[in-house]
């Protein structure tokens, strides 16, 4: 089975590296402006002196390259290589791979760091470099996390003070990914949303119950049927594309549907959560929805499936036909077919959520209020 064979649309300011989503926090333009300001200060402070710019690899390779473009003083470029981070956590121990110690002797040294976090690396470098009898030693760091810093060394030039978020880009990596990004991105935080997939055969009371849940929990109802109709009616690019398949009697490809859902999610960025109705219908769609939500730093909490036996469903639909005038409710054969289609479709999707411990079956027999209570209990629990 091919899962996720298409690209999940990401928001412009977000990127995904391995298992994590990051959002832009300092743009390329802001970085460049600030770096040129730092260079101006360094130019003024080191005027008439020759000094060594000591880049700490690997993270500072971009910073030292850009910083040196703006320098108008006599400077020699050297590099040291140390490492203290594994993944997105500091390992607490520092490993030196290379320090050009003898080249620093008797010189003014300006350490160029990409980021100072706990300050352990800086402390370690300063101690090791001071041992080589340097004339002076100063530090420039593009980023600095004041709330994490435990060191006592002074950081002479700071580009940006940032909160305790893990950041990547502009030389900084997450497990060797993201260094070549032109902006700084921070780890996106999981949103506190309630996202439900509501399932139920025709006649199970899905419409009635979802209206009540939406009101109680302040959710946004995302029905793929409604989204299709909206996009087609408004002749959006995706709507026109979807229609071209429908006109040929073909199923709209999942990629088109997911793109439409993405656009709807992005319209309601600050919602308390979503109820997905009519989607996902296959486990490939369920997996694509997971990926889409992950890219928006949220996730499905639970699939709620209303369980109603076939006899009851048929009776309810025939009863509804008396007042609704819906032709598809009035014919027992059509009803049976709709129930069969539902059963065939739901089983694999239910299995998908069961495997993730996110499936709850709700007894759909009883009064509207009784069923509603059961749903609320399942959600609140
Ligand atoms: P410190 O020793 O100050 O805790 O951390 C120094 C090193 O840890 C930095 O030079 C950098 O390599 C890594 N580091 C600290 N914070 C971050 C971060 O938010 N993102 C990334 N990619 N690396 C970090």
Ligand 1 atom closest to the CA of 166, numbered from 1: 19
Residues 48-75: pLDDT tens digits?
999 999 999 999 999 999 999 999 999 9
Query: In the predicted model, is pLDDT for residue 6 greater than 70?
Result: no
User: pLDDT at position 4, please?
Assistant: 43
* Catalytic, out of 20, 338, 358, 374: 338
- Split at pLDDT 50, 70, 90, the class of 320 is confident
| Residue closest to 57 by CA, chosen among 111, 131, 106 | 111
Query: In the predicted model, is pLDDT for residue 24 greater than 90?
Result: yes
Query: In the predicted model, is pLDDT for residue 381 greater than 70?
Result: yes
* Catalytic, out of 20, 145, 206, 374: 206
Which parts of 209-332 are beta strand (E)?
Answer: 220-223, 273-277, 302-307
Interatomic CA distance for residues 101 and 129, integer angstroms: 7
62 noted as active-site residue: no
Compute the distance from residue 115 Cα to the ligand 1 centre, in Å: 6
* Catalytic, out of 281, 296, 358, 374: 281
Compute the distance from residue 65 Cα to the ligand 1 centre, in Å: 19
Between 8 and 24, the more confident residue is 24
- Split at pLDDT 50, 70, 90, the class of 12 is low
Compute the distance from residue 81 Cα to the ligand 1 centre, in Å: 13
Residues 102-155: pLDDT tens digits?
889 999 999 999 999 999 999 989 998 998 889 999 999 999 999 999 999 999
**Residues 77 and 109 sit within 8 Å (Cβ to Cβ):** no
User: pLDDT at position 228, please?
Assistant: 87
Residues 178-229: pLDDT tens digits?
999 999 999 988 778 999 999 888 888 888 999 999 999 999 999 888 888 8
- The H or E element containing residue 266 is helix 254-267
Q: In the sheet where 50-57 sits, what is the strand order?
A: 89-98, 74-86, 50-57, 108-116, 136-144, 157-161
Query: CA of 257: how far to CAs of 106, 254, 260, 347, 371, in Å?
Result: 66, 5, 5, 21, 30
> Mean per-residue pLDDT for 166-189?
95
- Split at pLDDT 50, 70, 90, the class of 20 is confident
- 306's CB contacts (< 8 A; 6+ apart) are 198, 199, 200, 201, 204, 205, 206, 209, 362, 364, 371
User: pLDDT at position 187, please?
Assistant: 93
> Mean per-residue pLDDT for 148-177?
95
281 noted as active-site residue: yes
- 95's CB contacts (< 8 A; 6+ apart) are 82, 83, 84
**CB count in 10 Å sphere of residue 47:** 10
338 noted as active-site residue: yes
User: pLDDT at position 1, please?
Assistant: 36
Residues 65-116: pLDDT tens digits?
999 999 999 999 999 998 776 666 666 677 777 888 888 999 999 999 999 9
User: pLDDT at position 88, please?
Assistant: 63
Burial class of residue 84, CB neighbours in 10 A (0-12, 13-18, 19+): middle
User: pLDDT at position 2, please?
Assistant: 38
83 noted as active-site residue: no
Query: In the predicted model, is pLDDT for residue 357 greater than 70?
Result: yes
Residue 137, beta-bridge partner list: 109
Ligand 1 atom closest to the CA of 114, numbered from 1: 10
Query: In the predicted model, is pLDDT for residue 3 greater than 60?
Result: no
| Residue closest to 110 by CA, chosen among 83, 144, 74, 143 | 74
User: pLDDT at position 150, please?
Assistant: 94
User: pLDDT at position 21, please?
Assistant: 86
| Residue closest to 228 by CA, chosen among 253, 258, 257, 196 | 257
Between 13 and 379, the more confident residue is 379
Compute the distance from residue 123 Cα to the ligand 1 centre, in Å: 13
- Split at pLDDT 50, 70, 90, the class of 286 is very high
């Amino acid at each position: 089975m091919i899962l996720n064979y298409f690209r999940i649309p990401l928001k412009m300011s977000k990127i995904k590296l391995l298992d994590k989503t990051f959002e832009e926090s300092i743009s390329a333009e802001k970085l460049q402006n600030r770096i040129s300001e730092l260079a101006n200060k360094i130019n003024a402070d080191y005027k008439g002196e020759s000094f060594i710019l000591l880049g700490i690899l690997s993270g500072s390779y971009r910073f030292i390259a850009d910083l040196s473009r703006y320098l108008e003083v006599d400077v020699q470029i050297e590099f040291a290589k140390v490492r203290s981070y594994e993944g997105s956590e500091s390992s607490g121990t520092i490993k030196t791979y290379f320090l050009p110690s003898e080249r620093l002797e008797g010189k003014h040294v300006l350490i160029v760091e990409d980021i100072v976090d706990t300050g352990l690396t800086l402390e370690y470098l300063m101690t090791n470099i001071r041992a080589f009898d340097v004339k002076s030693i100063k530090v420039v760091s593009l980023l600095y996390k004041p709330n994490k810093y435990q060191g006592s060394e002074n950081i002479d030039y700071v580009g940006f003070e940032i909160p305790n978020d893990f950041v990547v880009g502009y030389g900084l990596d997450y497990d060797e990914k993201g260094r070549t990004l032109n902006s700084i991105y921070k780890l996106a935080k999981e949103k506190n949303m309630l996202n439900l997939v509501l399932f139920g055969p025709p006649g199970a009371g899905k419409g009635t119950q979802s209206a009540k849940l939406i009101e109680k929990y302040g959710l946004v109802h995302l029905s793929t049927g409604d989204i299709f109709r909206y996009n087609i009616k408004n002749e959006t690019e995706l709507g026109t594309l979807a229609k071209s398949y429908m006109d040929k009697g073909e199923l709209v490809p999942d990629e088109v549907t997911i793109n439409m859902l993405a656009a709807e999610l992005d319209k309601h960025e600050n919602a308390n959560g979503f109820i997905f109705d009519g989607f996902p219908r296959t486990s490939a769609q369920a997996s694509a929805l997971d990926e889409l939500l992950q890219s928006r730093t949220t996730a499905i909490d639970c699939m709620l499936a209303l369980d109603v036996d076939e006899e009851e469903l048929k009776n309810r639909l025939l009863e509804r036909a008396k007042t609704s005038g819906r032709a598809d409710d009035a014919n027992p054969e059509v009803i049976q077919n709709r129930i069969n289609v539902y059963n065939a479709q739901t089983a694999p999707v239910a299995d998908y959520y069961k495997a993730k411990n996110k499936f709850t079956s709700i007894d759909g027999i009883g009064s509207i209020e009784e069923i509603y209570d059961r749903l609320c209990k399942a959600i609140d629990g």
